[in-house]
Structure 1
């Protein structure tokens, strides 16, 4: 019999950037952590449809994915996260059943206010002229082999 850890899960998330260079962040209701908006990709949707849906569900905002910025693997849970940079094209900020807070943070606030495994996703997304990052983490911290290729 196969256990849950023998299968991967795919998630999608976005580093949504405003005109001032700030990043959209959420505080999750279930664990209180600050993270980029995102979640599990559904079987019947495309990757970009999933990231648009997840951001809308968690923040009230409709985004347009601009570019792929990285792929990240939680080595403990087997979750592969696909990260995009995005821009707002509609909606208004609102919390949800999943989000206790939705805020705009500077890159400096992201670097100090999020666990490293999530902060790096946001910071990779705003690096200029950067190729997509490929990193691994344990759910909180980056792993030594998790640096950009």
Structure 2
């Protein structure tokens, strides 16, 4: 009898830290987590790079076009087997218009360490946001196509 190997199954999600010209941070409230504000993002789709996913999710949820600049952190939820990757992003275009099916509310908010608890009530969302706020240099990120080898995206300091 052949043994069939078991492979880990993880959900991968992305989120973005985006500020406007007034240094306000884009935050959203979702319908299923309406007790807290959070950085916008969502799940990576099959065949999609992380940078493509974060750009798509921001556009879908907020109507804003971004350019991912670098990774601010990598987080793992053991309970849900959920790997989350945070991106620092630059504004490219668009106006804030929330996607009402998923997003209850969205706004650019003047956020700092002294008032973060007023907005972000879940500790794991707070730590991700603080990591992004404090980031001075980004973790390198690459996306590759390997048949043939072709670098699709590279982000670093």
* TM tier relative to shorter chain: 0.7 to 0.9
1:43 aligned to 32, 42, 46, which one? 46
Establish whether residue 126 from structure 1 lines up as the match of residue 129 from structure 2. no
Does the CA contact (< 8 Å) of 1:23 and 1:107 recur in 2?
no
Aligned to 2:87: 84
- Any unmatched runs of 5+ in structure 2? 1-7, 140-157
Rounded Cα–Cα distance in structure 2 between residues aligned with 1:42 and 1:86: 19
> SS in structure 2 opposite 1:18?
coil
User: Please, what TM-score do these two structures have when normalized by structure 1?
Assistant: 0.78
- Runs of 4+ aligned residues of structure 1 deviating over 6 Å after TM superposition are none
Aligned length: 127
Q: Give runs of aligned pairs for residues 39-78 of structure 1, distance below 5 A.
A: 39-78=42-81
How far apart are 1:128 and its partner, in Å?
4.2
> SS in structure 1 opposite 2:23?
coil
User: Please, what TM-score do these two structures have when normalized by structure 2?
Assistant: 0.74
Does the CA contact (< 8 Å) of 1:70 and 1:84 recur in 2?
yes
Deviations 1:54-86 (A, max 9, x none): 011111101111111100011211100010011
- Any unmatched runs of 5+ in structure 1? 1-5, 133-149
Deviations 1:98-117 (A, max 9, x none): 10111112124434321111
1:110 aligned to 101, 109, 116, which one? 116
Cα root mean square deviation, aligned: 1.6
Rounded Cα–Cα distance in structure 1 between residues aligned with 2:14 and 2:56: 10
Does the CA contact (< 8 Å) of 1:12 and 1:82 recur in 2?
yes
Does the CA contact (< 8 Å) of 2:70 and 2:138 recur in 1?
no
Aligned to 1:19: 21
> SS in structure 2 opposite 1:35?
coil
